[in-house]
Amino acid sequence: MERTEIVLDKNQRGELQLFSDETKAGLMSIAIIDGKLVVYHTEVDEAFEGRGFAKILLEKLVSYARENTMKIVPLCPYVNAQFHRHPDIYDDVWFKKTV
């Protein structure tokens, strides 16, 4: 059984963690900065690769952003790639910086 939890320190930096049968299977390094949810890195343990766990993490991240009316800054290559592949799905939470 998979479960996720968001763990943030007092500075609003931390991880979105994914557990499979109580074993930590993956994580996203995140921070809340200026009201935006910044995602830096996604990682899934080798023993759990190929089971769609990165997508589960992404879905939880997006759900959290929507529930809290936040935009996501996709610095993580995986999240950035998914946002570019599926802009119609993520457009409402995607922070696109304009210069």
Distance CA 67, CA 11 (A): 20
pLDDT digits (tens, 9 = 90+) for 49-79: 999 999 999 999 999 999 999 999 999 999 9
Q: Please, are residues 92 and 41 in contact by the beta-carbon 8 Å criterion? A: no
CA nearest to 80, candidates 65, 90, 66: 90
- Is residue 99 one of the residues assigned to a domain? no
- 0.85 exceeded by the pTM? yes
Q: Which domain holds residue 19?
A: 2-93
Dist CA 25 CA 89 (whole Å) = 25
Residue 88 in any domain: the answer is yes
pLDDT tens for each residue of 17-38: 999 999 999 999 999 999 999 9
In a domain, 98, yes or no: no
| Domain harbouring 82, CATH code | 3.40.630.30
Q: Which helix (H) or strand (E) holds 80?
A: helix 77-85
